[in-house]
Structure 1
Amino acid sequence: MELLSDCRNFIRGRKDMSEQRVKRDPEGTRRRILEAATEQFTKFGLAGARVDAIASAAGTNERMLYYYFTSKEGLYVAVLEAMYAQFAEREAKLDLSGMPPADAIRELARSIWTHLRDNPQWLSLVNNENLHEGRYLERSSRLLEALSPVVELVRVTLERGTAAGQFRAGIDPLDFYVTLVGMGYYIVSNRYTIDAFTGRNYAEKPRQEAISAMHLDMLLAYLRPAS
C-alpha cells in the first residue's frame, strides 16, 4: 500500500509540475500542441489522430489541450488556420513593388511553387480536408483575413501591368491567384500517381524547372494584351 501511495504521489507531483509549466508559458504550450497536432493530423488525418498522443508529444496533458482548443475538431481547425496563415503571410511579405510586372508575377509564382514542394505537410492537410469537403475550414473566420493580403498583392501587380500596357485589363485577381497556385499544387500533390501513370517524375529538379518554365510562359501569355 505504501508503494502504491508513493506512486500516486509521484504521478500527482509530475502532473502539478506540468501544469505549473503550462501556466508559466501558455503561448509555448499552445504552440507545442499545434506542432504536435500538425504532425498527427498529417500522418493520420482527423479520424486517426489521437488526442493522448498529441498531448504526450507536446509535453502536456489532454485537459490543457481541451482548455486551449475545446475539442479535437477545434484543434484540427486551428492547425488548418495556422497552416494557411503561414502560407499567405509568407507570400504577402514579398516585395514586388520595385519589379517590372512580369518579373513580379514570376517571383510570386516561383515562391508559391517552391513552398508547395518544400512543405509536404501542407499538402497532406489540404488533401485530408478536401476529403471532408472543406466542412471544417468553413468553421474558420480567419481564413479570408489570411488570404486577402495575397490577393491584394496580385491585384496591385496586375494593375501595374495593365497601366504599363503589358497586361490586359479585366483579370480577376482571385481567379488568377487560384490558377497560379493550382498549377504548382497539382504537380506536387499528384507526383506519385503522375509518375506511375506517365513514367515522368516531377519530383526531379530538371522536371520541376521545365514544367515551371512552361507554366510561367502560359501565365504570362494569358496576361498579354490582345494584339
Structure 2
Amino acid sequence: MYELVSLVNLRAKEKERCVASQAGKSEGNVRTQDPEGTRQNIIEVATEEFALNGLSGARIDEIAARTRASKRMIYYYFNDKEGLYLAVLENAYRLVREGESKLDVDGLPPLDALKQLVEFTFDHHHKHEDFIRMVMIENIHHADYIERSKVIRQLNGTAIKTIEALYERGVDEGTFRPGLDPLELHWQISALCFFNVSNRASFTKLFGRDLGTAEAQDSLRRHAVDMVLRHVVRSEKLPQS
C-alpha cells in the first residue's frame, strides 16, 4: 500500500511539473512572439517611471510589474537600468523628430513652414510632458547620457539641418532677415515651447492664474508663433493681424 501511495504521489508531482513547464513555455512564447512590441511596451512604461522618479528613483521591479515582461527580460533587452534610461531618452527624442519629419516644410512658403514648425513644437511638448521631464532630468545629469548616444546626436542633427534649409530658403526669397544663426533659432523655438510645460505649474501657483486651461494654452501658442515670426521675418513681410 505504501508503495502504491508513493507511486500516485510521484505521478501527481510529475503532472504538476509538466503543467508548470507548459505554462512557462506559453508565457515565454507570448513574450518572444513580438519582441519589438515587448521592447516598446517596456520603454513606454519606463518613460513614465523615469519621468516621475528620475534615474536614481526609478525601480526596475516597478517597471516589470507594469509591463508584460519580467525583470530578467528587461535586463536581457537593456543590460541594466542605465541602458533602459538611455533607450527611453533616445525614444523620446525620436518621437519629436519623427513628428517634425512629417511636416510639409519643403512644400510650404518659408513663412508658413516656420509657423507650422513652431506650432508643432508647442503642441508636441504640451502633449508629451514626460519628454520635458526627461530632458530636465538629463540636464541634472549634465547631459552625460545624451553625450553617450550617437542616436540622439544624429536625430537632432537632422532637426538643425531642417531649420537651416528653411531659414536659407526664406533669406533667399527675401522673407527672412539675414544674419541669424539657425541653431539659435532652434534654441529660441524650443525655449518658448519647453517653458510652457516645465514652468507652468510654478507660474500658475505664483501668479494665481491657471495657464493650463485651453484658453490660456491657445493664447500662449499664438504668441509663441508671433514672437518667433517677428524675430525672423522681415518687418514688411509680416502678416497683418
TM-score (norm. length: structure 2): 0.84
Query: 2:138 matched to which residue of 1?
Result: 129
Alignment partners' CA distance in 1, 2:20 and 2:129: 38
Which 10-residue stretch deviates more, 188-197 or 117-126? 117-126
Q: 1:24 aligns with which of 30, 33, 37?
A: 33
For the residues of structure 2 that align with 1:91 and 1:20, how far apart are their CA atoms? 37
Q: Quick check: 188-197 or 94-103, which moved more?
A: 94-103
Equivalent AA in structure 1 for residue 185 of structure 2:
F
Larger CA Rg, structure 1 vs 2: 2
Structure 2 counterpart of 1:119: 128
> Is residue 147 of structure 2 the alignment partner of residue 138 of structure 1?
yes
Partner of 1:103: 112
**Is 1:171 matched with 2:183?**
no
How many Å apart are 1:225 and its aligned residue?
4.2
Q: Is the 8 A contact 1:41 1:76 kept in 2?
A: yes
8 Å contact from structure 1 (residues 18, 60) kept in 2: no
1:105 Cα deviation after fit:
0.9
State the AA in 2 paired with 1:204. T
Q: Residue 164 of structure 2 corresponds to which residue in structure 1?
A: 155
1:208 to 1:37, Cα distance in 2 relative to 1, 3 A: same
Aligned 1:62-77 pairs, distance under 5 A:
62-77=71-86
- What residue in structure 1 maps to residue 100 of structure 2? 91
TM-score with structure 1 setting the length: 0.88
Q: 1:30 Cα deviation (Å)?
A: 1.2
Shift, 1:67, TM fit: 1.2
1:172 to partner: Cα distance:
1.8
* Matching residue of 1:184: 193
For the pair 1:219 / 2:228, whether they are aligned, the reply is yes
Residues 123 and 189, structure 1, Cα contact 8 Å, conserved in 2: yes
| Cα deviation digits, residues 38-90 of structure 1 (max 9, x gap) | 22222222222221222232212122111111101100100010010111110
Stretches of structure 2 lacking an aligned partner (at least 5 in a row):
1-8, 237-241
CA distance in 1, matches of 2:33, 2:175: 56
User: 200-209 or 190-199, which moves further after superposition?
Assistant: 200-209
Deviations 1:79-135 (A, max 9, x none): 010010111110122002232211111111011101111112212222222222222
Are residue 46 (structure 1) and residue 46 (structure 2) matched?
no
Unmatched segments (≥5 aa) in structure 1: none
Say how many residue pairs are matched.
Answer: 227
The CA distance in 1 between the partners of 2:82 and 2:225, in whole Å, is: 38
Indicate if the aligned counterparts of 1:89 and 1:146 stay in contact, CA closer than 8 A: no
